[in-house]
Amino acid sequence: MKSSLVDELKLIAGSDYVLTEQQQTNAYLYDEVEKAYRPEADKSSIVVKAGSTEQVSAIMKLADDNCIPVVVRGGATGLCGGCTPINESIILSMERLNGILEIDRKNMVAVLEAGVTLMDLLEELDKYNDLSFPVHPGDEGAQMGGMAVTNAGGARAVRHGVMRKHIMGLTIVLPNGEILELGGKLIKNNAGYNLMQLILGSEGTLAVVTKIVLKIYPKERYSATIVAPFENFEDACCAVMDILQSGNLPLAVEYMDKHLFVGTAEMLGLEWQAKKGNADLLIILSEKSEDQLYAACREINEICERNHSYETLYAGKTEEQQELLLIRSQHYEYIKDSICDSFDMAVPVSEVSAFIRDLKMLVKEYDTDTNVIAHIADGNVHNDILYLKDGSVPDYASELKQKMYDICFSYGGTITGEHGIGKIRRQDLILQKASAELELMRGIKKVFDPNNIMNPGTVL
């Protein structure tokens, strides 16, 4: 990058906050996508750590005037290469924009800078004892700005929905440096097109988010976790449908193939207590009173039994529940060295059982297997393609992926329920979307970012 540009960036952000040496910038190139299928980063990219919305504005204007790509880096917990610069870029790190500006109890909103991590927010709300925020993608290092623009979901979406539902306002900086306030603390606001909703899920391709007005909620104090073992996933899926139709709304309903629960527990030096069956549901309940919690547990237990579950296990103590969650959340460590691609497809919840069945039948045709992990009550299924025994990528990998997508589409599904398109699924988006819809998306991108400086090569 031209030294005169670097000098200007240093003037804007302060010289301590502009990193140009590869030794320093190397830590800013990748997200959590596995090495085997991550995009290759352009190592000549430099890092700028902005300290205010005004600095972001000045950086964007400079970049736009010089047609330099800008890749915003949040917590870098993304799973689709979104914050990896594939051209020589300014990596705009949001880590300094980490202020919790206001906890407004009257309106039940928090006003946050975009670099506040989920962990920061939860720790802050803990101080109030009676406040909470429900959206929880697996990694608490995710920043609120990153969670907003990826419209993050996670296990609790079954009850609380995804980020989109909880954001009331954004401060954004357009690629040309203009600062806009979208939405605010208003519950109702129908003035014009909703540009704020367009930014949510835009994966850093339209604007930089610097501030967020977020809904917060009263804490639910009583929680329990049920492990329901079934002989097969078909019965487990029927139980999920019945639970949803019964009016019970668990905080989370998670599915993993049994061998993943057992293997991950072993890896952690623990033991998976549900011995029977092949398909386990982890059902997390959270209620305002003990009576409500017991009533929900009883009803859900009955529903599982009606759908032929083996005896369910109940965890009420915090430590027991945390152990179960740990096993659920660490499964990736258990499988990651064996997979060469992983997916985040979603289908209507009524189709999950048939979808999983077809995926499992398909991989058998290739004499391989696939690990199934699902936010099952959202119809959101994570599965993968395995390396061959000799550690190589199978030559059928792209054919198999295409066939998995075809099954997903045949059930009215999407190639990504929550992780997004990023850089690794760009070619796949074309398989799902009509060309007229893609054209509209390209048009929107052009209006926001005529010089295509915002995270080029992402989404579109």
Instruction: By CB under 6 A, name the binding residues for ligand FAD.
Output: 31-32, 71-79, 82-83, 94, 114, 137-139, 142-143, 145-147, 149-150, 152-154, 203-204, 208-209, 332, 418-419, 455, 458
Least distance to ligand FAD, CB of residue 306, Å = 29
Sign of CA dihedral 134, 147, 431, 437: positive
Helix/strand/coil (H/E/C) assignment for every residue in 95-140: CCCCCEEEEECCCCEEEEECCCEHHHHHHHHHHHCCEECCCCCCCC
Neighbours of 161 (CB within 10 A): 14
Output 36 or 295, the one with its CB closest to ligand FAD. 36
Output 210 or 370, the one with its CB closest to ligand FAD. 210
Bridge partners (DSSP) listed for residue 224: 285
Least distance to ligand FAD, CB of residue 305, Å = 29
Produce one character per residue of 226-261: b if its CB has 16 or more CB atoms within 10 Å, e if not. bbbbbeebbbbbbbbbbbbeeebbbbbbbbbbbebb
Output 230 or 332, the one with its CB closest to ligand FAD. 332
Q: Which amino acid makes up residue 414? A: T
Dist CA 241 CA 192 (whole Å): 38
Cα end-to-end span (Å), the chain: 25
Least distance to ligand FAD, CB of residue 14, Å = 20
Dist CA 20 CA 200 (whole Å): 31
Contact 99, 112 (CB under 8 A): yes
Dist CA 456 CA 175 (whole Å): 12
Closest CA to 115 of 89, 134, 142, 139: 142
Least distance to ligand FAD, CB of residue 291, Å = 31
Closest CA to 27 of 46, 8, 4: 46
The alpha helices in 129-232, defined as continuous H runs, are 144-149, 157-160, 195-199
Least distance to ligand FAD, CB of residue 49, Å = 13
Output 175 or 277, the one with its CB closest to ligand FAD. 175
Output 293 or 374, the one with its CB closest to ligand FAD. 374
Least distance to ligand FAD, CB of residue 163, Å = 8
Least distance to ligand FAD, CB of residue 334, Å = 12
Neighbours of 441 (CB within 10 A): 16
Output 63 or 400, the one with its CB closest to ligand FAD. 63
Least distance to ligand FAD, CB of residue 73, Å = 5
Q: What is the largest CA-CA distance in the chain?
A: 71
Output 91 or 297, the one with its CB closest to ligand FAD. 91
Least distance to ligand FAD, CB of residue 364, Å = 28
Neighbours of 439 (CB within 10 A): 11
Least distance to ligand FAD, CB of residue 12, Å = 17
- 3-state secondary structure at position 264: helix
Closest CA to 13 of 44, 45, 52: 52
Residue in this structure with the two tokens 């539902």, named with its chain if needed: 165
Output 76 or 283, the one with its CB closest to ligand FAD. 76
Output 147 or 297, the one with its CB closest to ligand FAD. 147
Output 258 or 382, the one with its CB closest to ligand FAD. 382
Pairing of strands 46-49, 90-93: parallel
Burial label for 4, CB within 10 Å (0-12, 13-18, 19+), is exposed
Least distance to ligand FAD, CB of residue 445, Å = 14
Least distance to ligand FAD, CB of residue 449, Å = 12
Output 332 or 334, the one with its CB closest to ligand FAD. 332
